[in-house]
Amino acid sequence: MSVKGKIVFITGASAGIGAATALAFAAEGARLLLAARRAGKLSEIASAALARGAEAVHSIDLDVRDRRAVQKAIDELPEEWSAIEVLVNNAGLSRGLEKLYVGKIEDWEEMIDTNVKGLLYVTRAVVPGMVVRGHGHVVNLGSTAGDLTYPNGAVYCATKAAERALNDGLRQDVLGTPVRVTSVDPGMVETDFSLVRFRGDSERASKVYKGVKALTPEDVAEVIVWATSRPAHVNIARVLLTPVQQANSLLFSREES
């Protein structure tokens, strides 16, 4: 099932998995609707996507935490961009790595507002149109963290457990329509994830990946494109992918340097 010419809406598209997913869909000739908070970075990805083969690109400066802004962005899309066929709910982040009882409440709120409420706001704005039009595919970005909570990461893990529940619930709620719903749940992926978590502390962030050949954003993007290009009667409910050196969110086999 080709994605050529389809309108693919990707949130958090300015870096990491979101940017790699944009470029992967671009290579298939999709029409890309890209959203992120960093307009400068997003513009760079939009240009790269056109060079890679995207049929067209439309960018939106958007913070998914803002419910009204999300709805306004969807309501005011140009007519030629309004019939979104694939939604990739990628926007998300982690902040801090502290014990729950000493965690920073502002970090909790940022994670919950982005990873859970942001996903809900975008889904609520986009999916009704898919149901009315009789086709569409929602891909939600989960994590191995949603399967197994790790120490000092309770709130982030909780947001990814929530993503899994929302993904499964949405798939049940669209039953009887042609809309498909998929959760793609990566393990360790080497992106700016840890740099964001540790607020720019590159030394601490680099230790996360030490001794492990992590997944790349392109690895995850390839799975997303694969899931959305299955025959129309096939729904990939969930894909869990990890590096070979990772068993779950707690167990790693690290090479000694």
User: Over the chain, what HEC string results?
Assistant: CCCCCCEEEEECCCCHHHHHHHHHHHHCCCEEEEEECCHHHHHHHHHHHHHHCCCEEEEEECCCCCHHHHHHHHHCCCHHHCCCCEEEECCCCCCCCCCHHHCCHHHHHHHHHHHHHHHHHHHHHHHHHHHHHCCCEEEEECCHHHCCCCCCCHHHHHHHHHHHHHHHHHHHHCECECCEEEEEEECCECCCHHHHHCCCCHHHHHHHCCCCCCECHHHHHHHHHHHHCCCCCCCCCEEEECCCCECCCCCECCCCC
Question: How far apart (Å, rounded) are the C-alpha atoms in residues 124 and 142?
Answer: 18
CA nearest to 100, candidates 165, 158, 163: 158
Given the residues 101, 121, 150, 156, select the one marked as catalytic.
156
Do residues 239 and 183 touch, judged by C-beta distance below 8 A?
Answer: yes
Active site residue 156: yes
Question: How far apart (Å, rounded) are the C-alpha atoms in residues 204 and 5?
Answer: 42
Question: How far apart (Å, rounded) are the C-alpha atoms in residues 123 and 128?
Answer: 8
Active site residues: 156
